[in-house]
Structure formats: structure tokens, C-alpha cells
Structure 1
């Protein structure tokens, strides 16, 4: 008579045995060559309480060792990293993602129901692509405006730093620079970010990090349109170096017809002018603080009105009050200043021999006369060896 399977043998067949973990780029680290240790059935998952394969590695130099905290089944159910429990696509907490996509969490909380639910989920996942999220709500939902504003576009490796050295806080650390922990002031214990529960983060309830991000999203500035309805140009700043006009047109043409697009590579900016004001407002609303090209978040601003720019600048200048004691207008210049050479007298001839003949130019009608006295010997032409020209008129 064949023996029936015991409960322990049946449950052990559903234990996880994987070859590589499901990690985000931040937890994996910036080093492409890392060494991982693999422990089969090393610990139990902190969500479903089933044994799973534990991986342990160091993400980089001067970083702390990290390990997987939940099994791959729970990770695929929420599409999160096995270590930090952040969304793999946006790098945000589960509570923020579910609030933005309006996803209702239907995962059972009871231990028996949870185990039955996950076992059925494992059998369904074997029939489909194991790399896709198992939650049907995550497959059908698209990106929202809140996710695009809060999503991380680059890895945040600062999160892998070591913990604070408790001996250094008490003033008893003797390792100095060889200490693998941080010698910094610890976080205030009253700070809600210092107390985080992994189950609350996974189920998306009472997450202090998610609450901080939601408050930041509520305080983000908006881009109101200008009052001048003739403005249909958007300024695009913080462009990557290798961006092209065709790539920018591919991003902005979906909001309306573009009249012209001017790219300024030296200033890393561009100007997009739409044919209608409605298309420009729609593009500003959809791209402000959300558009990312080449790993850089672009700066979106409204252009200035070229027709009214000069008028506005003149009207903004304050009127200067007259200074007391000064005349309101300057007196007219003398006639000699306006006419250095009177019409009735021709200008003096330009002859090289008359260079030192000062008496030739001392005509009162020409509006110029030499000083009455010589202040320096070098001003006397006779002492320099000059002689008056024979044909020069005598006065």
C-alpha cells in the first residue's frame, strides 16, 4: 500500500529554490562584478513565512552587506525588490504606487488563508511568464502623473551605506578609519522614519517614507499659463548632450501640432512653439517636472511674449524724482561749440611747416587761443629750435 504524503512533505515541495534574486539597481550596487553567497532554504519569508533561498552580497566599497528579506513569490505578487521592498519600475514605496494607481490590496492577512492563496498563485505563475508581476491590477494600470513626478530616474546608492556605529555614539569606538560603520550622529528616535516595519511597507499601510513622499508631491510647484494668450512657446532646459531634434519632436508632437522647434546644443536647451495655445497648455501640463530623457529630468517653462516684452520692461521701471538744487534742463551750448569754424572763415591750412607756428592758429575767429603764459619750458617752440615760416601771416 502506497504511503500518502505528509503535510510537511507537501509544504516542502512549494518552498522556493532560485538561482538569482529579484533586485533593484540600487540594492544590486554600481559594481558589475559582485560575489553573492547562496543559502538554500536559509530563512523564512517575512511575509508568507515559507523558507526561501537567501542571497547575501556587498553592493560596493564602504557599503554594508545586504540580503534578501522576502521570497520571490511575494516579490512578484507586488512587483517589488526582495530587499528594499520598493517598486521595481518607479523606485517608490508600495503605498505611494497603490495610491497613485488606485489599486486595492486584496492579499489575505490570515496565516492559513495567506498560505493557501500563495500556493495557488505559485501554480498559476508556472504557466505564465515568471518575469512579469502576478498581480493583474499592476499589468492593466498605466503610469499616473503622481508616479511620473515622484519616480526615481537614477539609482540611489546612498541607501546602501553602513549603519551608525553604536560605540562611536557612546565615545568608545577604537577602530578609527578601519571601523566598517558610520561615525555620524544617529537619527532622532522620535523621527517616524527611524521606525519602519517591513510588513507595513509590504501591505502599504502606515509607511512613514510613503507619507513623506506624498507630502512632497502635494507641495510641488505647478506651471500656470501666462495671461498673454499669444504665447505658445515652451522653454525646454537641462537637455542631455546627445539629444536630437527628432527625439524632442517625438516627445512633444503627441500633444499638438508644432510650428517650429529650435535646439540650442551649447546652452542645452530648446524652444518648442505650437500652432495653438490649447496644445501648448496641454504639453506644459503633461511634461512639467515629469519628462525624463537620457536619465535627466527636463526643465519646462513658458516662453516670453516677444511683442510685449519691451513694453512691460519700460512700464516696470520706477520714475526718478528730480534732484533738488539742480536745474531742470541744461543751458544750450555756446555757438563756438556748435560751430568751431565759422562759415565766413575757412579752416586753417594743414601744412607740415606750420606745426610749431602757434601764432597762425591764434586767431580769435576760430574759437581757440593758446594759454597766455607758458607754464613749462617745453611748451616754448623757440627753445625747441623751431622757426616761424616765412610765408606765415604775422599778427
Structure 2
């Protein structure tokens, strides 16, 4: 095995790592065979909580980078969806150079490709995930569907179930009423607003990953990220930079929040003037509970709208073309000679010229 892997940190998603900032890992050189290329690799083991079972890496770093997937759960590192689903969807959509589409079956071929990975950089799913606009649109929709089905087992337990009883009694009506949960990415008329409201921020998603996305569009004035409240505000120095960032975020609904995938976590984004997100820990947790419920609601609506659009497209494709009914023509229209003769008869009888 290459010495490169001994010096590498594991390529593991935020969900598998958990929220513990002081995580300790055990490393075992050549501990297992990679599930994909069959080569021995350095295995990392860790536990997110004291009483939990140990998690471990099951594929090598090389295969992980080639396929842009987590070494432990094998989900796509960017969108949090199974790589088999990702590759199959992209192949059906006609996106070229998909990792896994032509995966070798015998061990010799697997070893050859893995050993020469530096020469075959185009194999990886990372380039597909990062570059193609068509691929981004497809994968964003898949991530939304995956979120609705609660496909990730580590996120099944909602924050609502973890709330202490006394938090239910906390009133955050004023705070919630000022949050633009029902806003959109359509630029507001008030030109002084240069901030975007982000909600759905998971505990496992680092603040820097969110700011890294927005910094590519302009200078950030401030970023108020409240993990405990599951939301925050990012403010740009210039209004035009904020508008540019808003345009780059996919919109499931033109008049609703945008959907941004960061680190496999779906975030909702709208325009909004920065407001208070709660003063005490209890208020922030209560805000987070309400935000989570609202996200589930709009996720279902988005999925329903996407299904209706697909059904309408199918109906448009299947429906026969219906032409307008032909105007019934009289015998006079069909035979100009008859028409002229009738006009002459009427003129002789009445003395009036009649155009039929």
C-alpha cells in the first residue's frame, strides 16, 4: 500500500463523524482489504459517543477520492446520496465519464486501476459532482428525495424528540414571526438588504463550509450562524454580490426558498433582513424545533410539485395533437360559379347587391 495513505486523514462525511469536536480515532495499517479495489489499506476506527459501537472505514482513500464518497457509509460526500443511485441517475441523464458505470469485475483490473489512480483522475465522481450544471440539478433533486424518505439512519431521531419538557413552554412567537421562512430568492425592493437567511443548518455542518460557498461570489460582511437554532444570516458587503449568490442557488419553487446542498446537508435559503434568532439556549432550541417542522413541510410540497411537473410532461408527450375543427363551408364557398349565379338571382329579385 502507498505511504500516501498513512499520512492522510480519512475521507469521512460529517454524519459519520458526529458532532463531537474532540473525536479520537484508532489507526490500523493494512487492517482490511478495500471493499472496492481489494487492496489492503489503513483502517480508521472511532466512536461518536462513549456507549456507541465503533464505526470504521471500509474502503481506501484512493477509491474514496475516485468516487467522491465517504470511506465509511459510501454516500456521496457532497449530496449525501448512495453512489450507486448517483451514478445510475447520471448515466440515464446522459452525463459522461461517470464513476462506477464501467466498474471492472475481476480483481486484476481493480488493482491495476487503483495502482494507477493518479493517471486516471477522470474516473472519479468528484469531477462529475462539481462541474456539470446538469449533474448538479439532478443530484440536488435526488438529495431532496433522499431527505424526504429519511434514508440516512443517523438522522431519523429528530431534534423535537430530544427537547426538554420545559422548552415547550417557551414562547418564541415574536422571533418566528420576523423570520423569512416563507420568503424566496427573488430580490427584494429594499436595496439596503444585503443578507440571505439560511435555515436547516445541522449540528454536523461546519460554519466554514457554508461561508466557503458564499465567499466565491463576493466579500462577506458578517455570518451569524446559530447551529442551536438551525438557522443564520450571511451578509454581503455589496448588494450585487448577494444577488449573484442568490441566482446560483437552485429553486424548487420560484416563489419559495432556494435549496442548497452543502456537505450533504440540504439548506433552505431566502432573502431576509437580519433578525434576532433567540437570546437563551432554550429559545434557540425552540426556534430549531419550529424550523425543522417547517422544513419537513416544504420538502413534501417540493416533492409533490416535482411529481406533478413530471406527470404533466408525460401527458404532454402522450397526448395527441388536436387540431381546430374545420369551418363548415357552404356550397357557395365550395363552388364559385354557383355563388355568382345566386348573387345574380338575388340582385334581379331585390335590386340590391348581396355579398355572400
Quick check: TM above 0.5?
A: no
Question: TM-score, structure 2 length as denominator?
Answer: 0.41
Which structure is larger by alpha-carbon Rg, 1 or 2?
Answer: 1
